[in-house]
């Protein structure tokens, strides 16, 4: 589902180029939950942005579901992401003036699916947010916001789910609930790439890889 080979990504810094990814390679198969663990600043989030088609690498190859997202024009790449990749970030990135139901529904705007309203309501119910469906993010607990963000990530039935520190802001009970949803997604045939420095976020993974200084240790 995901194949990334020898990825290099550099950024301009005050003392010259900073190499955030230094030949990183990773693969995730359908039905697999792979966790990448490493300290802050080792390149984990940059890796997710690159494999998710959001940040063009300086070198290497990315393929998601057999296609190179960077070989597509910008509009085509945006549609590719909307249809095949779900994103769940630590800071949630919920739209503050939309309700929970509207936030969960938002990704469907890219596809205009006729069953989108029904699917959004089902996701809200499945994530235990039905009593919060008409509340805006500021009225939610941290755990509820993370569940809403994960429900939104699944709205378009992606093939690949990318999760950036999904348990970092959560207590143990909420963390376990979020991880259960990731495991369920993988068991249904989806592919999950999770990055975290939190040991709780990696305990259900099929493989745990170590990342340091832009490189991933081979497993």
Three-point CA angle 98, 102, 108, nearest 5°: 130
What is the arithmetic mean of pLDDT over 204-215? 91
What is the arithmetic mean of pLDDT over 59-79? 93
Please write the tens of the pLDDT for every residue from 94-153.
999 999 999 999 888 766 677 888 999 999 998 889 999 999 999 999 889 988 999 999
- pLDDT for residue 162: 95
Q: Is the pLDDT of residue 218 over 70?
A: no
Please write the tens of the pLDDT for every residue from 27-55.
999 999 999 998 888 899 999 999 999 99
CB 70 within 8 A of CB 53: yes
Closest CA to 42 of 211, 158, 218: 211
Integer Cα distance of 178 and 200 in angstroms: 11
Integer Cα distance of 131 and 179 in angstroms: 22
CB 87 within 8 A of CB 132: no
Alpha-carbon torsion, ordered 35, 37, 40, 45, to 10 deg: -30
Integer Cα distance of 57 and 11 in angstroms: 10
Q: Show the domains of the chain with their CATH numbers.
A: 2-216 (3.40.50.300)
Mean pLDDT of the chain: 90
Q: Is the pLDDT of residue 190 over 90?
A: yes
Tokens of 107: 């990704």
Q: Is the pLDDT of residue 203 over 90?
A: no
Integer Cα distance of 203 and 207 in angstroms: 9
Alpha-carbon torsion, ordered 109, 126, 175, 94, to 10 deg: 20
Tokens of 183: 């495991």
Secondary structure (DSSP) of 162-181: EEESTTTT--HHHHHHHHHH
- pLDDT for residue 111: 67
Secondary structure (DSSP) of 67-103: B-GGGS-HHHHHHHHHHHEEEEETT----TTS-HHHH
- pLDDT for residue 173: 84
Integer Cα distance of 49 and 181 in angstroms: 22
């Amino acid at each position: 589902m995901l194949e990334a080979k020898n990825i290099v990504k550099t950024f301009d810094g005050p003392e010259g180029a900073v190499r955030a990814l230094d030949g990183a390679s990773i693969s995730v198969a359908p039905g697999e939950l792979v966790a990448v663990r490493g300290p802050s600043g080792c390149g984990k989030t940059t890796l997710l942005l690159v494999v998710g088609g959001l940040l063009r690498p300086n070198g290497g190859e990315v393929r998601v579901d057999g296609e190179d997202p960077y070989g597509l024009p910008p509009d085509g790449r945006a549609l590719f992401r909307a249809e095949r990749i779900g994103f769940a970030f630590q800071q949630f990135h919920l739209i503050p003036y939309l309700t929970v139901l509207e936030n969960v529904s938002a990704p469907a705007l890219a596809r205009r699916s006729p069953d989108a309203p029904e699917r959004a309501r089902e996701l809200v119910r499945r994530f235990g947010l039905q009593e919060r469906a008409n509340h805006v993010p500021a009225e939610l607990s941290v755990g509820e916001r993370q569940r809403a963000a994960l429900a939104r990530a699944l709205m378009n039935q992606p093939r690949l789910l990318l999760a950036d520190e999904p348990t970092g802001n959560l207590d143990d009970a909420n963390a376990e609930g979020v991880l259960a949803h990731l495991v369920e997604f993988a068991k249904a045939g989806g592919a999950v790439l999770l990055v975290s420095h939190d040991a709780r976020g990696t305990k259900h993974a099929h493989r745990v890889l170590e990342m340091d200084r832009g490189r991933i240790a081979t497993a």
